[in-house]
Every structure is written in structure tokens, then in C-alpha cells.
Amino acid sequence: MRASFIHIADTHLGYEQYGVRERFNDFSRAFWDAIDTAEQRDVDFMVIAGDLFNKRAIDALTLLHAIEGLRRLKDRGIPVIAIEGNHDRSYYRDGTSWLQFLCYQGYLILLSPIMQDGTPVLAPWQPETMQGAYVDVMGGRLRVYGLPWQGASTARCMEGLAEALKMARQEEAVSGIEYRLLTMHTGVEGIVPRIQGLPSMAHFQPLRECVDYLALGHVHKPYEFDGWMYNPGSTETCGSEESLWDDRGYYYVEIDTDTPERIVDLSKKERFHHATRLLSKRRPYLRYDLHVDGLGEPDALYARLEEYCRRESVSYRDGDARPLVQVHLVGILGFDGGVLDIARMEEMVRTYFQPLYVRVDNNTNDQDYVPDDGDIDGRDRSVWHELERQIFEELLARDNRYLPAKEQWGAVLAQLKSDALQKMLPEAIAQYLRDKRRELLGI
């Protein structure tokens, strides 16, 4: 048997990221791009390993966009086999999810096994009830099993599934099954440390002898193991972290059970298939971590950002896709973060990139103040004034703008504090500060 299919996951249709309408369209475009590939390569079927939609309650346009892609496959007789992910599963009580709706409408086969004591029952999918654990395609020679998102009970469920699959071996052989695919919406622990509570590699091992291709979803970072476990990652960029994983996309898989040597790369321990990860078509998403350590004043920081903009914007200047740019300020800030002009930085990015969206996030930490120990005993009230002056000077000295006249500025701060405590008019205090700025900074 020769067959080919597309394995996609985490398309998150309907996600209007950052409230930008065009981002909504971007997620649909990335999905349609995979549909284009399915058509061009004339695959036999497509697998959606969960999170087709970004949320359970989608709007009409999201549904239309999904159907726009799915209908093209339906018209060409390419079956789509899907499972629910954590984002698009139905509410426990209201029953019907939008994926179930698409299933009713004949756009896809939604695999959803009946569970018994936490274990999936391996019954064939029934068009009447639209329930079941597997569907046979390719004239009954290829079987696709599916397990939707199971949350905290995933590991236990996988144990039961492996047992059930072992028991099914004989029936599979009698039925003439030559190739078994399993799709699940879960990932392997540790791929993205932030995502907790996923099954470990040891939990997956028992499945290995039962399936030829494990089509995973859920974790948006792509990975594959031992020629049988595959995770394509998200097709568009759902968060700035994902911009670092630029090999995300979807798989184009060829199967040949008669002459596997024709396609199989033995060094990758592949069995009857060869899987190629194709990059999804998505909008450029640039993330710049601007390390602020050692930058003594705001101007130094702006200069570094401008240097980045000048360097990186070259390749986007005349491109047709306006990028998203996210700047993260990280590290220990040497001066007071309150003086940073975020709007100015965003404007700078706009000038260079003409981005679809820009955001500058201040994730810096302030330097802790550790007084020089020794000379002044803070328990002695009579020296508090002197202690305060020292602290002011040390804090001021961190900012290059105030360093040259730190003593004078220390005196200014002390004066401002005492004026405020004596309830002087705010206008008078502001005027005093303006005068001192003119005198000490010349502005």
C-alpha cells in the first residue's frame, strides 16, 4: 500500500491576537496554506491533532474560514480525521462542540472513543452516533486511532490504550490492516518546561509497538522522536515565545508498506513512512530581548534599540508582510525604570519596520539598594540625615545623567522631600525642580 497524508495541529483558528483584526486572518491563512499543500500533493487524507479552533465559543466568521478550507478537501474526496484539543473541546454539559458540528456536516471525522473506567474502548467510528475510536481508510488497509485531550488523566488513559491496542493486534491482522496511525492531543514532558503535567517519554513507550505513526498536537514547539512520534507545532505564532521556534509547520507523510526502502531513511529509524516537516506560511514575528545591564541612561538604551532596528528592518522594508515586533527589556536596570519612554521606543520600531503590531515590554528588575556598611550606624537617629544624603548620592550615581553632579542632585532631592513634607505648593516644588534642572543639566 502506498499512501500520503498531512498531519497538522494547533491552528487556533479565530485567534484575534492583540486585538488586531489582521491576525485573525493570519491564522486562517496558515491553515489554508496547509490545505493548498494537501491539494497540490494530492494526499489521501489529513489528520488534525487538536486545537483547530482557538476556543470553544467561536464566531460565525471563524466557522466560515474553517469550512472554506475543509470544503476544498471534501470536494476532492480527501477525508479529514480530527480530535478535540484542550482549546476546542465541548463543554461537558452543553454537549455539542463546533468540531462535532463540522462532523455532522460531513466536513470531518471526529474520533472520540467511549471511555470505560478511564480507558478508551476501541470500537470503530460510527457515522450514525459519530462516536468511535478509529476509522479505516485506504480501502481498509490503514487505521487511524484517535484520542482527544484527556487533561490530568492522560497518562493513565495511555496505559489503558496501550493494553487495548495490544489486544487489538489480532483483529487488525485479520482485517488486513497494514499501517496504524494514532493521533493524540498531548505532548512529552520537558519539551517546553513551562508546560507541566504532561506524560513522560516512559508513558509513550508501550504505544510504540502498537502504532507506526503517532500524530501529536498540543505543544506548540515542533519535535520528533525515533521515527514514530511527531509533533508539528503551531502553524501561526500564538505567543512571542513561539517566534523562537522557526521550524514550526505541518508534516507531509508518505507511506509505502510494500517497498519501504523506496522512501524510508533508515538512519532515522523510520519504518514504513517518510515524514517531512514543511514550514507553515505565517507572518514574520520578531522578538528582541534587549539586555539593559550596563546601560547607564535611557539614551544608551534607545541607541541600542535603534541599532537593532537599523540592522533587522532591512529585510522587511520592502516585503509584503508587515511583521509583528515585540521588544522585551530584560536585565537589571541601572536607573529608575519610570523615566523610560516606552511610547518613544514603539515609535522608533514603527518608523523602521512599519510593523502590523509593536509592543515594548519592560521586564527589567530594579537594582536592589545595598548600603555600604561601616561608616554610619543607622540606629543612631542623629545621623539619619547624613545617611539619607548618602543613599541619594549612590542611587543618583547609577544614572550617567546625574553622576557628574551627584552631590548637588542629592541636595536637591533632600530639599524636594522636605518641601513636600512641609506641604509646600506643588507648583512651587515643580518650579524649584525646573530651575535646578536648568542649572545642573542645562535643559
Site string for Mn ion, 9-48 (x = CB under 5 A): -x--------------------------------------
d(CA 142, CA 45) in angstroms, rounded, equals 11
Burial class of 275 by CB neighbour count within 10 A (0 to 12, 13 to 18, 19+)? buried
Q: Is 242 in the site for Mn ion (CB under 5 A)?
A: no
Pairing of strands 249-256, 273-279: antiparallel
Could you tell me which stretch among 8-16, 171-179, 251-259, 280-288 binds Mn ion (CB under 5 A)? 8-16
Task: Check if the beta carbon of residue 44 is closer than 8 Å to that of residue 81.
Answer: no
Could you tell me which stretch among 7-15, 128-136, 322-330, 372-380 binds Mn ion (CB under 5 A)? 7-15
293 Cβ contact list (under 8 Å, min separation 6): 331, 332, 334
Closest to Mn ion by CB, 111 vs 192, is 192
Minimum CB distance to Mn ion, residue 185 (Å):
8
Pairing of strands 213-216, 179-184: parallel
Task: Check if the beta carbon of residue 149 is closer than 8 Å to that of residue 111.
Answer: no
Closest to Mn ion by CB, 33 vs 51, is 51
d(CA 166, CA 248) in angstroms, rounded, equals 33
Closest to Mn ion by CB, 3 vs 48, is 48
d(CA 298, CA 399) in angstroms, rounded, equals 9
Q: Is 51 in the site for Mn ion (CB under 5 A)?
A: yes
Task: Check if the beta carbon of residue 238 is closer than 8 Å to that of residue 220.
Answer: yes
Could you tell me which stretch among 4-12, 143-151, 201-209, 243-251 binds Mn ion (CB under 5 A)? 4-12
All three cell numbers of 410: 542629592
Closest to Mn ion by CB, 4 vs 231, is 231
Q: Which residue is nearest to Mn ion (CB)?
A: 51
Minimum CB distance to Mn ion, residue 11 (Å):
9
Closest to Mn ion by CB, 54 vs 326, is 54
Closest to Mn ion by CB, 51 vs 399, is 51
Minimum CB distance to Mn ion, residue 85 (Å):
6
Minimum CB distance to Mn ion, residue 10 (Å):
4
Minimum CB distance to Mn ion, residue 99 (Å):
14
- Residues touching Mn ion, count (CB under 5 A): 2
Could you tell me which stretch among 2-10, 225-233, 286-294, 301-309 binds Mn ion (CB under 5 A)? 2-10
Minimum CB distance to Mn ion, residue 215 (Å):
14
Closest to Mn ion by CB, 189 vs 270, is 189
Q: Considering only residues 380 through 419, tell me which ones interact with Mn ion, judged by CB under 5 A.
A: none
Minimum CB distance to Mn ion, residue 71 (Å):
24
Minimum CB distance to Mn ion, residue 275 (Å):
20
Closest to Mn ion by CB, 78 vs 219, is 219
DSSP letter at 132 equals B
364 Cβ contact list (under 8 Å, min separation 6): 292, 329, 330, 331, 332, 333, 337
Report DSSP letters for 50-101, one per residue.
S-SBSSSS--HHHHHHHHHHHHHHHHTT--EEE---TTTPPPTTT---HHHH
> What is the SS3 assignment for 230?
strand
Query: Which residues contact Mn ion by CB under 5 A?
Result: 10, 51
